[in-house]
Amino acid sequence: MNGPAVFISGAAAGIGRASALLFAANGYHVGAYDIDEIGLTRLAADITGAGGSVRTGLLDVTNATQWAERLAEFHADTGRLDILINNAGILRAGPFESIEPATHQALVDVNLGGVIYGTHAAFAFLRDTPGAQVVNLCSASAIYGQPELATYGATKSAVKGLTEALDLEWERYDIRVIAVWPLFVATAMVDGVETASTKSLGVRLTAEDVATGIWNATRKRGWLPKVHYEIGAQAKALATAAKYAPNWAVRTANKFFSGS
């Protein structure tokens, strides 16, 4: 296999699945990994049925050993790793104090720990592939802390900081590290989630919208480095407001949207 290679966590459904299909359709050998074996089987059938190339495997992103094993197996296919997409994530919503500590910890372990473990395990493969990239899934809910999504937003804020730091650290290795920022996306992750923010802002993005945003972001390597890519008009508007408006105004807007 001489074409480019992309490794995607959380690939069995939603954004991960849409990204796997899009990259496969554009000639990438896709590594699709998840804890959902049935979903992976269906994805592999769709990719191979369309003439694409894919390897699937079970991956618990909170397990550093599994990350190392799956990445090594995938790298053996092509001898390269052009793009790592840290997509796997979970969302739990509700008043902070009503969510059990174990659930808060699970959010941290999956949404942040999974990104740390995966990116760390992938480093040597990325370093040895010219022009390699890491794409981290952030969230517009991390632009300003959202009531009822406090820990989820906190994990995504941490991913933001990690992304910025590694993009600077790994520039010497020709590894680009970027983050994509959708708002609420119509996937199973938001099924049953009814917060004031989801009600006021709605769920306007599809998984395919985000996959296209990831694809476009990985095509753009200009002279001026860009790290963050907001997806959708709402996310872009919120990010612009957070950047240029005074803090009290941003807080007031978030207070309004969240019904706090």
Which residues are CB-neighbours of 104 under 8 A, at least 6 positions away? Answer: 151
Residue 113 is part of which domain span?
Answer: 5-258
What does DSSP assign to residue 190? G
- pLDDT tens per residue across span 12-39: 999 999 999 999 999 999 999 999 999 9
Residues 32/111, Cβ–Cβ less than 8 Å: no
pLDDT of residue 201: 54
pLDDT of residue 257: 58
Q: Token pair of 168, please?
A: 């600077």
Give CA–CA dist 59/222, Å, rounded.
33
Residues 81/71, Cβ–Cβ less than 8 Å: yes
Q: Total domain count for the chain? A: 1
| Residue type at 11 in one-letter notation | A
| Terminal-to-terminal C-alpha distance of the chain | 54
Average of per-residue pLDDT values in the chain:
88
Q: Token pair of 59, please?
A: 């991956």
User: Considering the entire predicted model, what is its pTM?
Assistant: 0.89
Q: How far is CA 31 from the centre of its chain?
A: 15
pLDDT of residue 23: 98
Q: Token pair of 109, please?
A: 């372990």
pLDDT of residue 189: 63
Q: Which residues are catalytic?
A: 152
Residues 115/159, Cβ–Cβ less than 8 Å: yes
Mean pLDDT split into 10-residue runs, the chain, 260 residues: 91 95 97 97 98 97 98 96 97 92 97 98 98 93 81 94 97 96 68 57 74 92 83 66 64 61
pLDDT of residue 102: 97
Residues 172/224, Cβ–Cβ less than 8 Å: no
CA distances from 21 to 24, 27, 133, 152, 203 (A): 5, 10, 19, 27, 22
pLDDT of residue 132: 97
CATH of the domain at 248: 3.40.50.720
